[in-house]
Structure 1
Amino acid sequence: MKNLYIALSFVVISLTVSAQNKNTKSADKLFNRFEYVDAAKEYLKLVDNGKADPYVYKQLADTYYNMFNSTEAVKWYAKATETNQEAETYYRYAQMLKANGKYEDANKQMQKFAAAAPSDSRAKAFKENPNYVPRLLDKTKLYNVNPSDISSDKSDFGAVLYDNSLYFASARNGARKTYGWTDEPFLDIYKADYNADGTITNASPLTDLNSKWHDGPITISADGNTAYFASESFKEKISEKDKKANAKFSQVYLFKAVKTGDKWGDITALPFNDKTFSNSNPSLSRDGKTLYFSSNRPSSVGGTDIWKVAINADGTYGEPQNLGVKVNTEGNETFPFIADDNKTLYFASSGKQGFGGLDVYQIDLSNGSEASNLGKPVNTEKDDFAFTFNESKKAGFLSSNRNGNDDIFAVSPICGVDVQIVVTDAKTGAILANASVSILDDKKNVIATEMANAKGEVKYRVECDRAYVVQASKDGYEGSTFAVTKSKGPSATVAAALQPIDVIVTETEIILKPIYFEFDKSNITQEGAFELDKLVQVMKNNDKMVIMAKSHTDNRGSDKYNLALSDRRAKSTVQYIVSKGIAADRISGKGMGELEPKVDCGKDCTEAQHAQNRRSEFLIVK
């Protein structure tokens, strides 16, 4: 149902429409009236009767796309793209593939889209970062998302919490006439009680504002006395007649209402509405000075964009302004919500890099930053939109069709800590730019890796009350780890001071700290990697040097087993050095087993002595 507020126009009483041909006339009429449920049935009849052609396949695909039936849309886009070369068809096909979790197939269609529309910002973003999904999956979880008991078996979306009242749009009124797009009743605005325990009760329609047309979503002023909401221009008896189609088209308008006592009244259409385009999904800043909304008005970047308009002290309005390309794309941007701080904007986009369908993004409008995807579980492969958050109650709401229907979900923030790592030279205190900095969780899983900026800084957001470790490394310095103390936030600083590499190089040997291995294992440990990085640096500084690595075991196990184990350790050591850019012909390895113990303790070795015997040594061959 939210697609109504993306398409942003409605049609009624359509008697005839121009058709592709006589066979598609009936289906085309339904399609152009947005009655997609019945349109799909008519197009499928043509397929069953052997009268389908590429046009029918494309219409079927777009029909299911508009209903967000991704499985059927993929099926018909596959056939449509056999002959249809339109860039947007490839893009829609990719979106539906992503909605089914088929990211590799989606990338193939995005490649075709990028070739067909190379100047499109969506194509440019894809070419710059085609494999962005793993990065999105690695994002720190910011919110918990749970089903809300306010949802019904019909479309419910656009929930926003003010004080102890929750407002939302819903098609749950079964007594009303159904709308052909979704075969559901027309939308109404509802209000429910938000209780202290987080439960939501007593949902009832706002009869003062609702009409026989679509109404909602709504936004309320801080004092609770002014509302802005979306409805149809039919409310103003305004429509456009398409003579060729013999149809009347409505636009979505924005309206203002004023509360007197317990009643809403004085309903007026905003002056920047227009019968040639739509305005919808309003969100009022808490200071009451700016109204954000979505619109397909002229000068939009894409289908629908996010706009804002100033509300002057005398109640007049400024000129609507487009929020620009940091927010808007050639796709659809809609459902803006301006946070209580008057600078953080949440919005939904189908044009930015996401998981599929609509994803929710946030942007700080005060500092020129880029919009960021909120990640999972806020976003999924389906449509996720209408994110709102009440700062005082630390409670938010999200709309999504992830379960097959537009439903409202409750959102609660996960306590987070902003960790700032500053990398410096341990001896001089100098800032180390471009150092590699990774952050690991308490299970030693690498969460993310970034390069330090010109100030030696890297910032990560992690969960509260959880231990993390930072790994920092840079050529010429010993890599090291640094603990991130458990914290409730909001921020923590880690001083990552790296020691310059100071290696003892004799005529016959490079002496490092011991490269110890875990018992009965041959993998390189993190501590071992830090030491081997020193060897790599020496070999880079002396490009003619050739090294042989000798690997040793303790005396537990048979001679044959220990010789094989030490050989595996030697090979692991060599492979690590080669992986760091050293030519394979400059490093060789040999397993010595237990033949040359560092501590000759026989059968009475302590654990510490066994550990000393499990080592690698580095001899200068040339």
Structure 2
Amino acid sequence: MKNLYTALIFALAGATLSAQNKDTQKADKLFEKYEYVDAAQEYLKLVDKGKADNYVYLQLADTYYNMFNTAEAARWYAKATEQKQDAEIYYRYAQMLKANGKYEESNKQMRTFAQMAPGDQRAKAFNENPNYVPRLLDKSKLYEVKPSDVSSDKSDFAAVLYDKSVWFASARNGARKDYGWNEEPYLDIYRADYNDDGTITNAGTVSELNSKWHDGPVTISADGNTMYFSSESFKEKESEKNKKLNAKFGQVYLFKATKQGDKWGDITPLPFNDKTYSCANPSLSRDGKTLYFSSNMPGSMGSTGATDIWKVSIGSDGSYGKPENLGKNINTEGAESFPYISDDGTVLFFASAGRPGLGGYDVFQADLQKNTEATNLGKPVNTEKDDFAFTFNKQRKTGFLSSNRNGNDDIFVVSPICGVQLLTVVTDAKTGNILANASVSIVDDRKNVIATEQSNAKGEVTYRVECNREYTIQASKDGYEGAGFPVKKQDGGDQRVEAKLQPIETIVKETEIVLNPIFFEFNKSNVTREGAFELDKLVQVMKSNPNLTILAKSHTDNRGSDAYNLALSDRRAKSTVQYVISKGIAKSRITGKGFGESEPKADCGENCTEEQHAQNRRSEFLIVK
């Protein structure tokens, strides 16, 4: 995220002033003025001249961190952490490694951070679930993400759709002065037409709102007559002068504008703006009563000036209440920004760099009614880079996302994937008793295991799955026969699956252990996932009955020669035996033998159907002792 809000709100102090010297003065001055491109060049000159020390390495790391040049930031953090640093440095280093997909190395730095700052919410979240990344990657997709035709070769972000207009912030106006942070032009507010076919055309600046400083993004009331937008405090002639740097530093302020014919006018600053902190990225509820925004005002949880998500009430007379911090279910010691409140006012979307994510800023959502912890939207909304400014128009079932995943802040179109909430309840089939701590897997129609969870004290596991797709719930628990429960296709809504497990003794007969067929694929001898699920039942029986000895008989269909089928069935028998032994059963307790096509279950000769062939490719388990 290489824009105004990173520059003015999330600027980092870097190393202490005491480490500066006359060699670093020029670079330090550029750094303190947020002119990071030129600052990096000056620090690198010191490296080339052999005048760099740990202070320079850390300044270089922070410089690239602020520009989100993740590879260079990670490189210099590695150099800086050869000496002991403050805890926050290890956190930044971890984020940069994660942004480059180096999750194991990132976890190593996060462990150091967590040891140094055990009370930090980010450290606690990591310690509770240090290997969260694979789970995020396996998470069911909630949205499709596609490039938008409104993006340019400059920074474009924070698009929001109201009626038939798309509003966004952009630095595409190349005629204006470049901003020293990233050497791009200043930001302006843009409006474009949203057409019925989903295309976006006729993007142009909203001249009456834009100034010679940064402007945008915006939020607009349901009636289209009131707008709130971000701009700089210079608009109000408010700033703080730094005599040493011979520069003025402003804040990001929030402003209100009203529709006057075809133009916007009566632009006024909000009363809680202050030249000691910033307020930015507004989102207005559809009833017009609550304004959400990001700020580092006093009372923020964020460290190093990082922002939190706040809200303020708006009275019917246009008055404002006292801003309220949304608390720890939303905010962390890291940075949270770009809130967007859903049309019904129940779900808040926001970007966070402090919560467990895939790298950089990730988009999260929180149910404000339930007041529960925010959840990560997963891929493809989130990536290893910065993903932020998620907005969604419920009426048109489309929204926008901003991301620098392609190297520049761009706008992407998001469309929801139909989802079904799937509640599985595991019980004892005989008694009806709830079974807690049962293993419950959700398997898709391509036999991929999406996730595996333990049932809670109520015997419940909940998954969100795609609509119009078949799934299978596989449930198992020690002492019970594992079973699969099909989930039919459904357009939407909630589904409930009753996973009733039979006690294991029901499959133990006088002469054999009765399992569902252990089918093998045609011409293959490897144990399949379905086969393993059934064989686990045999393993449970043998562990519960330590004197039990089993003969595994393997059979083939009648395609191929007798000799080939006999050899194939013998390989299948051995694969079956090896699987059972691998689960802790002594080799002396199970043997296997192939019988080829000599004992068909479906005696259909040369006229077997595919189903009959499958029945004949099977294993049986006889009790020898």
Question: TM-score scaled by structure 1?
Answer: 0.91
Q: Which amino acid aligns with 1:92?
A: R
Aligned to 1:548: 550
Aligned to 1:376: 379
Change (3 A) 1:547 1:248: same
In 1: Cα distance, 2:507 partner to 2:444 partner: 34
Aligned to 1:331: 334
In 2: Cα distance, 1:129 partner to 1:101 partner: 18
Q: Which amino acid aligns with 1:90?
A: Y
2:392 maps to which of 374, 389, 393: 389
Q: Which amino acid aligns with 1:384?
A: D
Percent identity among equivalent residues?
Answer: 69
3-state SS of paired residue (1:61): helix
- More displaced, 226-235 or 430-439? 430-439
CA contact (8 A) 1:599 1:609 kept: no
Q: Does 1:615 align with 2:619?
A: yes
In 2: Cα distance, 1:242 partner to 1:610 partner: 81
Residue 165 of structure 1: how far off its partner (Å): 1.1
Residue 547 of structure 1: how far off its partner (Å): 2.3
Aligned to 1:414: 417
Deviations, residues 472-513 of structure 1 (Å, cap 9, x unaligned): 223333322222222221333333333333436567754556
Q: Which amino acid aligns with 2:229?
A: F
CA contact (8 A) 2:2 2:68 kept: no
Aligned to 1:275: 275
3-state SS of paired residue (1:79): helix
Change (3 A) 1:197 1:31: same
In 2: Cα distance, 1:427 partner to 1:203 partner: 66
Q: Which amino acid aligns with 1:210?
A: N
3-state SS of paired residue (1:112): helix
Q: How does 1:170-181 map to 2 (within 5 A)?
A: 170-181=170-181
Q: Does 1:535 align with 2:538?
A: yes
Residue 527 of structure 1: how far off its partner (Å): 5.1
- More displaced, 302-311 or 508-517? 508-517
Q: Which amino acid aligns with 1:274?
A: D
In 1: Cα distance, 2:604 partner to 2:446 partner: 36
Deviations, residues 12-42 of structure 1 (Å, cap 9, x unaligned): xxxxx99811111111111100011111111
Q: Which amino acid aligns with 2:589?
A: I
3-state SS of paired residue (2:23): helix
Where in structure 2 are there 5+ consecutive unaligned residues? 12-16
Deviations, residues 365-400 of structure 1 (Å, cap 9, x unaligned): 110222111111111111110000011111101111
Question: TM-score scaled by structure 2?
Answer: 0.90
Aligned to 1:458: 461
Change (3 A) 1:512 1:296: closer
3-state SS of paired residue (2:486): strand
Residue 298 of structure 1: how far off its partner (Å): 1.4
Aligned to 1:523: 526
Q: Which amino acid aligns with 2:83?
A: T
Q: Does 1:109 align with 2:141?
A: no
CA contact (8 A) 2:159 2:401 kept: yes
Aligned to 2:247: 247
Q: Does 1:164 align with 2:164?
A: yes
Q: Does 1:365 align with 2:368?
A: yes
CA contact (8 A) 1:503 1:512 kept: no
Aligned to 1:61: 61
Where in structure 1 are there 5+ consecutive unaligned residues? 12-16
Q: Which amino acid aligns with 1:290?
A: T
Q: Which amino acid aligns with 2:620?
A: S
1:442 maps to which of 424, 427, 445: 445
Aligned to 1:470: 473
CA contact (8 A) 1:436 1:452 kept: yes
Aligned to 1:230: 230
- More displaced, 437-446 or 400-409? 437-446
In 2: Cα distance, 1:530 partner to 1:168 partner: 52
Deviations, residues 250-309 of structure 1 (Å, cap 9, x unaligned): 111111112222222222211111111111111111111111111111121112111111
Deviations, residues 296-340 of structure 1 (Å, cap 9, x unaligned): 111211121111111122221111111111111111111010110
3-state SS of paired residue (1:498): strand
In 2: Cα distance, 1:327 partner to 1:587 partner: 56
Residue 564 of structure 1: how far off its partner (Å): 6.0
Deviations, residues 133-183 of structure 1 (Å, cap 9, x unaligned): 111111111111111111111111111111111111111111211110010
CA contact (8 A) 1:10 1:33 kept: no
CA contact (8 A) 2:146 2:413 kept: yes
Deviations, residues 529-576 of structure 1 (Å, cap 9, x unaligned): 45434433433433x424233333448778886676555444443444
Aligned to 1:499: 502
Change (3 A) 1:240 1:502: same
Q: Which amino acid aligns with 2:233?
A: S
Aligned to 2:14: none
Q: How does 1:299-314 map to 2 (within 5 A)?
A: 299-302=299-302, 303-314=306-317
Aligned to 1:14: none
Aligned to 1:51: 51
In 2: Cα distance, 1:127 partner to 1:584 partner: 38
CA contact (8 A) 1:546 1:586 kept: no
Q: Which amino acid aligns with 1:619?
A: I
Change (3 A) 1:247 1:172: same
Residue 614 of structure 1: how far off its partner (Å): 4.4
In 2: Cα distance, 1:38 partner to 1:477 partner: 67
3-state SS of paired residue (1:615): strand
Q: Which amino acid aligns with 1:305?
A: D
In 1: Cα distance, 2:255 partner to 2:581 partner: 67
3-state SS of paired residue (2:503): coil
CA contact (8 A) 1:54 1:84 kept: no
Q: Which amino acid aligns with 2:550?
A: M
In 2: Cα distance, 1:209 partner to 1:96 partner: 36
Q: Which amino acid aligns with 2:591?
A: G
Q: Which amino acid aligns with 2:366?
A: I
In 2: Cα distance, 1:424 partner to 1:613 partner: 32
- More displaced, 111-120 or 475-484? 475-484
CA contact (8 A) 2:601 2:615 kept: no
CA contact (8 A) 1:421 1:496 kept: yes
In 2: Cα distance, 1:602 partner to 1:394 partner: 55
CA contact (8 A) 1:307 1:323 kept: yes
- More displaced, 2-11 or 102-111? 2-11
In 2: Cα distance, 1:600 partner to 1:19 partner: 84
CA contact (8 A) 1:564 1:591 kept: no
In 2: Cα distance, 1:620 partner to 1:248 partner: 89
In 1: Cα distance, 2:481 partner to 2:548 partner: 21
3-state SS of paired residue (2:96): helix
In 2: Cα distance, 1:507 partner to 1:416 partner: 46
In 2: Cα distance, 1:3 partner to 1:331 partner: 18
In 1: Cα distance, 2:119 partner to 2:512 partner: 58
3-state SS of paired residue (1:241): strand
In 2: Cα distance, 1:121 partner to 1:25 partner: 36
Deviations, residues 432-451 of structure 1 (Å, cap 9, x unaligned): 33332222222111112222
In 2: Cα distance, 1:195 partner to 1:407 partner: 20
In 2: Cα distance, 1:576 partner to 1:279 partner: 61
